[in-house]
Amino acid sequence: MSSAPLSFQDCIQQLTSHEILSAEQIQAVLNGLPEASQDPSAELLLRELVKQDRLTAYQARVVLEGRTSSLNLGNYVVLDELGKGGMGEVFKAQHRVMDRIVALKVVSEAFVKSQDALQRFHREVRAAAKLTHPNVVAAYDAAEVAGVHFLVMEYVDGQDLSSLVKQGGPLPLSQAVNCILQAARGLEYAHQRRIVHRDIKPSNLLLDRDGAVKILDMGLARIATEVGPGRTVAHEA
């Protein structure tokens, strides 16, 4: 059974109660509408908010679907969906106070139900916290809000190498060698801290707009802990 369409007033209530926009921001947009649109629908309001860069297209779609609460994660406002993986989803988000743009890796509900899986996520957090290097995606924070576990990571404005090659073909030799060298530096740094990624591939290497390669997804890392002279035990994350 389909739910009732979102009303204009409910749309405003959703946006303000979840602190996506203030009533003043919404009113400023409404004041700018032509007289013929003075009895707007939720769809019209959302379209105008997107047009004026008050909302992203993703946010407008989520609000229209009645899932506005999912845009609010503590200090962060979700802006867009970046991708999905075995552990959950990754979103582009903005810190409410600092205005910093970040990537949020949100663990799926099914994943969290397993204690082993949750421990795996916590190991990812610890692994990521050990790494600060120009060629590794940085981890800023980890938190839980209303049962939702997420990792706050550096947002990389760019594209993974797999997608880049699929769209434009093989990279020029000099650029390909440069990417390999940068990834190797990041891996060397991680190995010095006893972390092995275990899943290095083009889709886990992000190339930003300045030409820097950053290693993604340390959730597939392996943390080696010494248990005796010359011996290690591996904990798969």
pLDDT digits (tens, 9 = 90+) for 108-121: 877 777 777 778 77
What residue has token string 């010095």?
192
Taking residues 197-211, report their average pLDDT: 92
Tokens of 231: 């011996």
Percent of the chain with pLDDT strictly greater than 70: 87
- pLDDT for res 224: 40
What strands lie across the sheet with 205-208, from one edge to the other?
Answer: 158-160, 205-208, 213-215
Q: Which contiguous run of DSSP H or E holds residue 178?
A: helix 173-192
Q: Is the Cβ–Cβ distance between 78 and 89 less than 8 Å?
A: no
Taking residues 76-102, report their average pLDDT: 91
Which contacts of 161-168 are long-range, i.e. CB under 8 A and separated by 24 or more positions? 161/202, 161/203, 161/205, 161/206, 161/207, 161/213, 162/201, 162/202, 162/203, 163/203, 164/207, 165/202
Angle at 41 between CA 35 and CA 46, to 5 degrees: 100
Tokens of 199: 């899943």
Look at residues 151, 137, 138 and name the one whose alpha carbon lies nearest to residue 206: 137
User: Dihedral sign, CA of 163, 164, 166, 167?
Assistant: positive
Taking residues 138-159, report their average pLDDT: 90
- HSE value, Cβ hemisphere, 13 Å, CA-based, for 100: 12
DSSP-derived secondary structure letter, 106: E
Which residue stretches of 113-172 are H helix? 115-129, 161-168
Averaged pLDDT of the chain: 85
Q: Which of 34-43, 63-72, 81-90, 186-195 has the lowest mean pLDDT?
A: 34-43
**What are the b/e assignments for 43-69, b being 16+ CB within 10 Å?**
eebbebbbeeebbbebbbebbbeeebe
Q: Catalytic residue numbers? A: 199
Residues 6+ apart with CB under 8 A from 116: none
